[in-house]
Amino acid sequence: MPRLTLPPSCINRVYRPHLENQDRYQVYFGGAGSGKSVFLATRCVLDVLQGRNYLIVRKVGRTLRSSCWNEIRKAIDRLGLSMLFHISKTENTITARNNGCQLLFAGLDDVEKIKSLTPQSGVLTDIWMEEATECAYEDFKQLDKRLRGESRHQKRFTFSFNPIYQRHWLYRQFFDCWQDGKRLCRGKNVTILKTTYLDNRFLTPDDRQALENEPDPYFYQVYTLGNWGVMGDVIFRNWEVQDLTETKAAWPLLLYGLDFGFATDPCAAVCCGLDRKNKRVYVFAELYEKGLINAHLANRLKDFCGHTPIVCDSAEPKSIRELRSLGICALPARKGKDSVLHGIQWLQGHRIVVDTGCAHLKEELSLYRWQQDREGHTLPIPMDKNNHLIDALRYALEHESNSRRATTAGKGELGL
């Protein structure tokens, strides 16, 4: 193929030296809006034309389409290289026409697919783990073994993420050489580059202003300044209380969730709404009562949610069937592996506005904490108490959180 000339203006200056970085492990971390993903997507496009094969992963496969896949598609168009690639949406592959090398996409939630993925020409030379704090150490170790076989290219494993949890395995694995206040660290076959919004000349003034005016101290440290998060063991600090009476009356779509209980634990239900544009969750009302048999619970729910669907804890299918027989449109939550952690992370990415009348939810949000180990270190495991209404809130918003896992995610992205 003809030699490509890359205009210097199309890549932020801080990333240019890393277009041909050959270190085995490369860590690109920092604040939001720093251009990490755009740079790595651009590098993928150029690399595959030069004979490299990429596997691009995130913890959950469905999030790839709205993140890495779209960034790479935009990079191809931006560079004017559309004619050099065959793009297959059905197979989730992008293939270079000049050499048959490929960009493969997969979620770590589909283990069998990961095991069977192989490029049509040559071997995997690169793995890019986007939002790496979503992923487990075991994910990394298994993927690292995939980088084997003969190739004229140096094998590389690239990570990109926001540094939300300093006790994350990524920090322990790669940051021995790191010094706070530095922007670049080169260790033995490891490169670490920290960037922030100040490194991205393509941001608009509004983008910059939003980051600079972030009111939450933790989010300012992580997403504006790109520093490793060191939050205490309280899980939610991103909430406030307002009188939402008028807001509820005008809200177009109300969402409901239910966590079952009886003697020790209460039945807990919430009525909420989601403002997607401004990333706000409004909690308009709560139901919180012990000792309710399902017949009595159904009567309460008729007043609470009427015939509107309510998403319930799927651990009690019998109770769900009973509620349905009593006229409640009860639906089981889908849950899944790490659903609690993901739901927490998703809620942490939104501002939670609680009505003044939701006394029990305000108490839960104040008390819901992470577990600690014997030495008093915070663990990424929530304590299983003070969480009944919070669980109900996760169920109510489950469809939204499962379909929009992009901003921050997984065990590492929990604001500890």
pLDDT recorded at residue 376: 63
Shared-domain flag, residues 244 and 200? no
pLDDT recorded at residue 10: 83
Shared-domain flag, residues 180 and 323? no
Could you give the CA distance from residue 369 to residue 378 in angstroms, rounded to a whole number? 9
DSSP 221: I
Q: Give me 74's structure tokens.
A: 């935009």
Shared-domain flag, residues 353 and 396? yes
Give yes or no for a contact between 99 and 51, defined as CB atoms under 8 angstroms apart. yes
* Domain-embedded: residue 107: yes
Q: β-pairing, 378-382 with 370-372? A: antiparallel
Segments in the chain below pLDDT 70? 1-3, 8, 167, 230-232, 375-376, 403-416
* Domain-embedded: residue 367: yes
Shared-domain flag, residues 266 and 350? yes
pLDDT recorded at residue 180: 81
CA atoms within 13 A on the CB side of 115: 4
* Domain-embedded: residue 36: yes
Shared-domain flag, residues 255 and 395? yes
* Domain-embedded: residue 13: yes
Report the Cα–Cα distance between both ends of the chain, in Å, rounded: 49
Shared-domain flag, residues 186 and 259? no
Domain count, the chain: 2
Could you give the CA distance from residue 238 to residue 229 in angstroms, rounded to a whole number? 15
* Domain-embedded: residue 76: yes
Shared-domain flag, residues 178 and 89? yes
Could you give the CA distance from residue 224 to residue 33 in angstroms, rounded to a whole number? 8
What CATH number has the domain bearing residue 133?
3.40.50.300
Shared-domain flag, residues 172 and 275? no
What CATH number has the domain bearing residue 351?
3.30.420.280
Shared-domain flag, residues 318 and 382? yes
* Run of H or E including 291: none
Shared-domain flag, residues 35 and 173? yes
pLDDT recorded at residue 415: 46
* Domain-embedded: residue 233: no
Could you give the CA distance from residue 174 to residue 27 in angstroms, rounded to a whole number? 8
Specify the residue for token string 């490194």.
Answer: 199
pLDDT recorded at residue 112: 75
Domain termination site, one of 169, 192, 209: 209
Shared-domain flag, residues 91 and 21? yes
Give yes or no for a contact between 25 and 73, defined as CB atoms under 8 angstroms apart. no
Domain of 370 in residue numbering reads as: 239-403
* Domain-embedded: residue 232: no
pLDDT recorded at residue 199: 97
